[in-house]
Amino acid sequence: MATLYREAEKNIFRTYLYLFGFFLLIMAVGWVLSYVFEGQWILYLAVGISVVMSFSSYWYSDKIILRMSKATPIKKDDNPELYRIAENLAITNGLPVPRLFVIEDKQPNAFATGRDPKHGVIAVTTGLLERLERVELEAVIAHELAHIGNRDILIQSVVVVLVGVVVLIADFFFRMAFFGGMRQREGGVGLAVLAGALLFLILAPVLAQVMKFAISRKREHLADSTAALTTRYPEALARALEKISSDPHQLKAANDATAHLYVVSPFRGKEAKSRIRKLFMTHPPVEERIKNLRSIDV
C-alpha cells in the first residue's frame, strides 16, 4: 500500500521530470530554428521577452487573481473558526499564517495564491463554508496551504515562462517565414526538412500546453498528499472533494485564466470523457484523487 511520503516523492519527481522535458522541448525548437534561419538570436530574444513578462506577472499575480475572482479580505472577527483552522495548520507546517479572503458564491471551492509563503493567500467561497463539516474544511485549507508551502505558484510561473518561450518562438517563425526570412534550400531533402520543421513548430505550442496542464495536475496530487500528511486524516479531504465536485452550482467568477488554481475545477458539465480531452484538463479527475487518498496509508 502506498504511503503519503511515497505519494509526495512520486509527484515531486514527476513534476521535475516534466520541467526537464520542457527544457528539452525548447532546445529542440532552438535546434530547428538554427537550421532554418541564419542564427539563434531569435531564441534568445524570445526567452528574454518571456522572462520579463512572466517575472512581472509573478510579482502582481495575486492582486490580479483576487480582483478577477471578486474576493474580499476578511478579518479574524469575521470568521474566528476559519482563522483558527488556518493558524493551526500554518503552525503545523511551519508557515506564516496566510491572508484569508471570501468569495460570495454558492459553489463550494477554494484556491491559494501568493508569490511565496510570506505573501500567501487563501480564498474560499461562502458555499464552501456553508456545506463542509469542520474536518472537511480543515482538509481543504490544508490542501491550499500545501500549494503555498510547496511553492506551486513559483513552479507555475516557471511553466508560464517556458510555455511563453515556445509560443513566441513558433509565432516568430511563422512571421519570418511569411516575410521570406527562411533560408532557401534546393532539392527534395531540403524541402522535406523544412516541411518537418514547419510541422514541429505547429505542434510545439500544443505540446507545451499539454505539459503545462500535466504539471498542474501533478501539483494537485502533491497538495492532496501533503494535506493528508498534515491532517493525518485523508478521508476528510476525500469527502470534501466529493461534496465540492457534486455541487451543481456554477462559479460566477470562474474563467480559464484562474480555473487551475481551485481545489476542484470550477466549471460544471465539462468533465473529460476521452483520453485526449483529459490531456487538456487543469485538474486530475476527482475520482482519481479520491481513490488515491483512500488508498494511502497514514
**Tens of pLDDT along the chain (298 residues)?**
455 456 556 656 766 776 677 667 766 776 776 666 656 676 666 566 656 666 666 677 788 888 889 999 999 999 999 999 999 999 999 999 999 999 999 999 999 988 788 989 999 999 999 999 999 999 999 999 999 988 787 676 666 666 766 776 677 666 666 555 555 555 444 566 566 666 766 777 777 777 777 777 888 988 999 999 999 999 999 999 999 999 999 999 888 778 888 999 998 765 555 555 565 577 889 999 999 999 877 6
Q: 217 with 282: CB under 8 angstroms?
A: yes
d(CA 232, CA 251): 30
- Residue 80's CB is within 10 A of a number of other CB atoms, namely 10
Residue positions annotated with a catalytic role: 144
Joined grid coordinates for residue 73: 479580505
Query: Residue holding cell 499575480?
Result: 61
**Residue 159 grid cell:** 511553466
In the chain, the amino acid numbered 17 is L
**Where do runs of H (alpha helix) occur along the chain?**
4-36, 41-68, 80-93, 126-131, 134-149, 152-178, 187-231, 234-246, 275-279, 286-295
Cell numbers representing residue 297 in the block: 496509508
**pTM for this model (two decimals):** 0.76
Alpha-carbon span 254 to 141, nearest angstrom? 20
Give the CA count within 13 Å in the CB-facing half-sphere of 137. 22
- The pLDDT score that the predictor gives to residue 1 is 43
CA angle 206, 224, 277 (to 5 degrees): 25
What is the total count of domains within the chain? Answer: 1
pLDDT of residue 222: 87
> Domain range for residue 89?
4-295
Q: Which residues pair with 297 in a beta bridge?
A: 3
Cβ-based burial of 184 (10 A; exposed 0-12, middle 13-18, buried ≥19)? exposed
Residues 6+ apart with CB under 8 A from 53: 164
